[in-house]
Amino acid sequence: MKALVVREPGQITLEEYPGPVQVPGSVLIRPVVVGMCGTDLEIIDGHIDPAYVHRPVVLGHEWSGVVVDGTDAPESPPVGTRVVVEGIVPCRHCAACVAGDTNLCQTYEEFGFTRDGAAAELLSAPSELVHALAPEVSLESGALVEPASVVLRALLRAAPRPGLRILVVGDGTVALLAATLARLWSPASVTMLGARPDQHILASAAGVDTFVLDSSSAGGGYDLVIEAAGAASAVETAMGAARRGGRVVLLGLAGNNITAPLRIDDVVNGDLTVSGSFAYTSSTFRTVVDLLNTGRLTLDFLVTHRFPLTQWESALAALRSPTGTRGKILLDISPSPTKK
Ligand SMILES: [Zn+2]
Ligand SMILES: [Zn+2]
């Protein structure tokens, strides 16, 4: 099969690659759309923490597809079902898994990182990770379930309640998803501190009340600050924008070994709660699928760029150097036009 493969840092090719091996309990799926994100660039460039990737690896951890063979798994959705698949493969036996923290499973396995991902013609996944999309939900919304799950898990860590003043630092897809999902808790206001004026259109669509481009306009005193820019300076800004007793959630990845200064007294005297959040739990992923399937959430408004798999280089170029309004970038894997 054709697959987009990273063999070594800096070495990425669309090549003929062995198809997945079917094992009992697994469902064979044809990926249709695959989102590309900054983490893919970190894998390509070799900037990701080496503990989280096994090369060679097929890229693609944000995706949706169609079931093509379920004969090995009694619980498989029928052939032709449009599905999304949890990317993290938990062991379900370790202490973390038993506690429901499947994102912290002792054996880290994830499609697109340690297992081959979805930027390929086929992917085989354990049936318990496969979730059907309702007919009304587009495959493009489905491709955003994974990043939305990452963001929802981070928000849940901050235990939001209605009426909060929220600041989102960053204006990329993760930041836009944070604004979208924060709306589920009926905040008093959502402010986004962005970097590119062109992003204000997507920010409005995501439910942002105020879009600003400099931290002095954003001000401070926020109940909850979500750092989604993934840069040391943005972390410093986020820490300084929370009110006393407020919460700061760090969601952006800045790169392996990048550090940011910390005003220790401000954290202590400010009574701040600062949390990180890694990936998503099985339960969070299911919650996002449920929100989509019941019409309480739509995500495909965030898709702005679409490229056929053969034009993967253009997709990566658009990812590296954003111009104009840019939300999620998708690769179209389907050999022929499919209803997205
Ligand atoms: Zn991603
Ligand atoms: Zn486990």
**Cis ω before 56 (30° cut-off from 0):** yes
Residues with CB under 5 A from ligand 1 (ion): 37, 39, 62
The residues placing their C-beta within 5 Å of ligand 2, an ion, are 90-91, 94, 97, 105
Residue 248 Cα to ligand 1 midpoint, Å, equals 21
Domain boundaries, the chain: 2-144+299-332, 153-276
Beta bridge partners of 304: none
Q: Is the pLDDT of residue 336 over 70?
A: no
**CA 87 to ligand 1 centroid distance, Å:** 10
Which numbered ligand comes closest to the C-alpha of 99?
A: 2
Q: Report how far residue 147's alpha carbon sits from residue 136's, in angstroms, rounded to the nearest whole number.
A: 20
Pull the structure tokens for residue 223: 């109940």
Q: What pLDDT digit, counting tens, does each position of 245-274 carry? A: 999 999 998 888 889 999 999 999 999 999
- Report yes or no on whether pTM surpasses 0.85: yes
Ligand 2 mean position to 282 CA, how many Å? Answer: 11
Separation of alpha carbons 170 and 193, rounded Å: 6
What are the DSSP E strand ranges found in the chain? 2-8, 11-16, 26-36, 57-58, 62-69, 82-85, 123-126, 130-132, 165-169, 189-193, 210-212, 222-227, 242-250, 273-276, 303-308, 328-332
- 2-144+299-332 CATH choice from 3.30.420.40, 3.40.50.920, 3.90.180.10, 1.20.1090.10: 3.90.180.10
Fold: same for 2-144+299-332 and 153-276: no
* Average per-residue pLDDT for the chain: 95
pLDDT band at 293 (very low <50, low <70, confident <90, very high): very high
Nearest CA to 24 out of 80, 73, 74 is that of 73
**Phi/psi at 309 (5° precision):** -55, -35
* Least confident piece of the model among 63-72, 153-162, 251-260: 251-260
User: What's the topology of domain 153-276?
Assistant: Rossmann fold (3.40.50)
pLDDT at 31: 98
Ligand number nearest CA of 146 is 1
Residues 6+ apart with CB under 8 A from 318: 305, 307, 326, 329
